[in-house]
């Protein structure tokens, strides 16, 4: 019996259609290269924790303060996850219940704002996120949202950020992005936020693993509120966390006349009962396992290599005449204008899909093209680095990508190169 058949034994026997979809996805992941920078591969230990009986438990509330009985193991699980999050990110409070990054962001804003308050985040088209106040998101509807952009070269425009902050006096300034290839200057954001009396919220979803590994500066000590997903560079289950400093009082009791010291309690109450119901305890178990993995030397070495690999790719693309936003990268991702090759982001995504490289079309700063057919693509190195690839392979892969973008005629040859890399660097060995 294949390892895969054993791992998915019951679903295989009971539901052939779903087993076949899982199996197909496993093959797709194994025989293609994921270069969507927000994706990674969770370990089998994380997957097992998520597939555990903790799924069956209702645990509204927080450890030792629940609305249902039978919480011994749920409490142990959540307490371990909290302890590991606090120790890894060096904060004194962590809420591990957010279902994912979007509810984490909404709950964080809801903890300190009331509808109509002003918030300020990066414009989605420049690398922000829907939940940073974009108009179609609830965060752009419930709050008065001011959006900042980048300069012409794609760098954060602190002059504009400061000017907008002074003019609009937001209650919260959000930093942390989905398509920003450079280090985020948290102290500079903190200075602006303090000057205008705003909370600084750092959404580190994309870079959480790099922060945990010390490869990107930490927002702790600068941002009062930190949100993250746990499935991107943290390599855990699809979920979220909110972190801050301070100590919560009873999260089941409303806070009267809150001050800044009540932030941990306000965050906890905003998640539950404010926004969510029962925490997904199986996912929280997965978070705990991922956080344990993220505190190892192996993880830190991986994170370092993620950045080295992205920088190697950037070097190749630069020499091949592609235009990189900000000219390069300090982190796990590259944002690249493909129009110098007389194609659009959509065409680039489709061509690369045909060689087995999955990434996404993306707007570049000041993009003259529409979001469904923008000028750029966004790609990242977390997944290829988990597979064990290093600079040497990035040179091969970068050139195969550039060749494909240069001419359709190179698709067949590039596809062969990608297949060979997949064979040499297998994923989930034996699965």
CB of 38 to ligand DSN, least distance (A): 3
d(Cα 375, Cα 378) in Å, to the nearest integer? Answer: 11
Catalytic residue selected from 34, 78, 203, 224: 203
- Residue 77 annotated in active site: no
Q: Can you read off the two tokens belonging to residue 123?
A: 């414009």
CB of 390 to ligand DSN, least distance (A): 25
Instruction: Convert 172-200 to b/e letters by CB count within 10 Å (16 or more is b).
Output: bbbbbbbbbbbebebeebbebbeebebbb
Residue closer to ligand DSN (CB basis): 237 or 251: 237
CA atoms within 13 Å, Cβ hemisphere of 285: 22
Contact 64, 82 (CB under 8 A): no
- Our finding on whether 399 is near ligand DSN (CB under 6 A) is no
Rule CB under 6 A: choose which of 23, 29, 38, 311 binds ligand DSN. Answer: 38
Which of the residues 126 through 155 are near ligand DSN (CB under 6 A)?
A: 129
Q: Determine how β-strand 357-358 pairs with β-strand 33-34.
A: parallel
Site string for ligand DSN, 284-303 (x = CB under 6 A): --------------------
Tell how far CA 405 is from the center of its chain.
27
Rule CB under 6 A: choose which of 157, 178, 375, 399 binds ligand DSN. Answer: 178
How far, CA to CA in Å, does 205 sit from each of 278, 302, 316, 347? 23, 17, 27, 28
Count, residues in the chain: 431
- Residue 41 annotated in active site: no
Catalytic residue selected from 39, 44, 58, 358: 58
d(Cα 230, Cα 211) in Å, to the nearest integer? Answer: 12
Q: For ligand DSN, how many residues bind (rule: CB under 6 A)?
A: 4
Contact 127, 38 (CB under 8 A): no
CB of 87 to ligand DSN, least distance (A): 26
Asked, as a colleague might, if the bond just before 273 is cis with ω within 30 of 0, I would say yes
Query: 362 — phi, psi (to 5°)?
Result: -155, 145
Catalytic residue selected from 44, 65, 238, 308: 238
- Our finding on whether 101 is near ligand DSN (CB under 6 A) is yes
Catalytic residue selected from 228, 229, 230, 344: 229
Residue closer to ligand DSN (CB basis): 12 or 129: 129
Residue closer to ligand DSN (CB basis): 37 or 286: 37
Which of the residues 318 through 347 are near ligand DSN (CB under 6 A)?
A: none
Residue closer to ligand DSN (CB basis): 1 or 136: 136
d(Cα 158, Cα 151) in Å, to the nearest integer? Answer: 9
* DSSP three-state, residue 97: coil
Residue closer to ligand DSN (CB basis): 121 or 248: 121
Based on DSSP, count helices (H) and strands (E) in the chain, helices before strands: 17, 15
331 by Cβ neighbours in 10 Å (0-12 / 13-18 / 19+) ranks as: buried
Residue closer to ligand DSN (CB basis): 178 or 193: 178
Catalytic residue selected from 232, 312, 361, 378: 232
CB of 124 to ligand DSN, least distance (A): 10
* DSSP three-state, residue 59: coil
- Residue 203 annotated in active site: yes
Residue closer to ligand DSN (CB basis): 281 or 335: 335
Q: Determine how β-strand 323-324 pairs with β-strand 118-122.
A: unpaired
CB of 143 to ligand DSN, least distance (A): 19
CB of 39 to ligand DSN, least distance (A): 8
- Our finding on whether 305 is near ligand DSN (CB under 6 A) is no
- Residue 238 annotated in active site: yes
Question: For residue 219, which of 173, 264, 261 has the smallest C-alpha distance?
Answer: 173
Which of the residues 225 through 284 are near ligand DSN (CB under 6 A)?
A: none
Residue closer to ligand DSN (CB basis): 124 or 190: 124
- Our finding on whether 356 is near ligand DSN (CB under 6 A) is no
d(Cα 102, Cα 296) in Å, to the nearest integer? Answer: 28
How far, CA to CA in Å, does 20 sit from each of 27, 344, 407? 10, 34, 35
Catalytic residue selected from 39, 60, 391, 395: 60
Using CB atoms, what's the residue nearest to ligand DSN? 38
Catalytically active residues, by annotation: 58, 60, 203, 229, 232, 238
Chain residues that interact with ligand DSN, rule: CB under 6 A? 38, 101, 129, 178
């Amino acid at each position: 019996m294949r390892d895969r058949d054993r791992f998915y034994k019951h679903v295989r026997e009971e539901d052939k259609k779903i087993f076949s979809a899982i199996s197909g996805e496993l093959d797709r992941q194994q025989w293609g290269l994921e270069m969507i920078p927000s994706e990674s591969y969770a370990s089998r230990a994380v997957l097992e924790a998520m597939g555990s009986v903790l799924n069956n438990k209702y645990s509204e509330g927080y450890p030792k303060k629940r609305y249902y009985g039978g919480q011994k193991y749920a409490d142990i699980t959540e307490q371990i996850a909290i302890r590991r999050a606090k120790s890894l990110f060096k904060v004194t409070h962590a809420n591990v219940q957010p279902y994912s990054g979007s509810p984490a962001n909404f709950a964080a804003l809801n903890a300190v704002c009331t509808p109509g308050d002003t918030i300020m985040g990066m414009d989605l088209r420049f690398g922000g996120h829907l939940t940073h106040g974009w108009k179609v998101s609830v965060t752009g509807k419930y709050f008065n949202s001011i959006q900042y952009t980048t300069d012409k070269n794609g760098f954060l425009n602190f002059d504009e950020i400061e000017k907008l902050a002074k003019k609009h006096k937001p209650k919260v300034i959000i930093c942390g992005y989905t398509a920003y290839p450079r280090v985020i200057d948290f102290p500079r954001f903190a200075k602006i936020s303090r000057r205008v009396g705003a909370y600084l919220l750092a959404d580190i979803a994309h870079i959480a693993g790099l922060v945990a590994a010390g490869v990107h500066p930490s927002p702790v000590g600068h941002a009062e509120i930190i949100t993250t997903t746990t499935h991107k560079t943290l390599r855990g289950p699809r979920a979220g966390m909110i972190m801050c400093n301070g100590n919560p009082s009873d999260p089941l009791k409303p806070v009267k006349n809150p001050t800044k010291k009540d932030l941990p309690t306000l965050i906890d109450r905003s998640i539950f009962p404010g926004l969510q119901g029962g925490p997904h305890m199986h996912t929280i178990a997965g978070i705990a396992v991922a956080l344990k993995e993220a505190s190892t030397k192996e993880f830190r070495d991986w994170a370092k290599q993620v950045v080295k690999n992205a920088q190697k790719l950037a070097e190749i693309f630069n020499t091949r005449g592609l235009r990189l936003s900000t000219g390069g990268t300090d982190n796990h991702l590259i944002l690249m204008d493909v129009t110098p090759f007389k194609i659009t982001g959509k065409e680039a995504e489709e061509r690369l899909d045909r060689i087995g490289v999955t990434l996404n079309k993306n707007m570049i700063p000041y993009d003259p093209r529409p979001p469904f057919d923008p000028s750029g693509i966004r790609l990242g190195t977390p997944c290829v680095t988990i597979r064990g690839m290093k600079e040497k392979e990035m040179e091969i892969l970068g050139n195969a990508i550039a060749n494909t973008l240069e001419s359709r005629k190179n698709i067949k040859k590039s596809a062969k190169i990608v297949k060979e890399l997949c064979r040499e660097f297998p994923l989930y060995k034996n699965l």
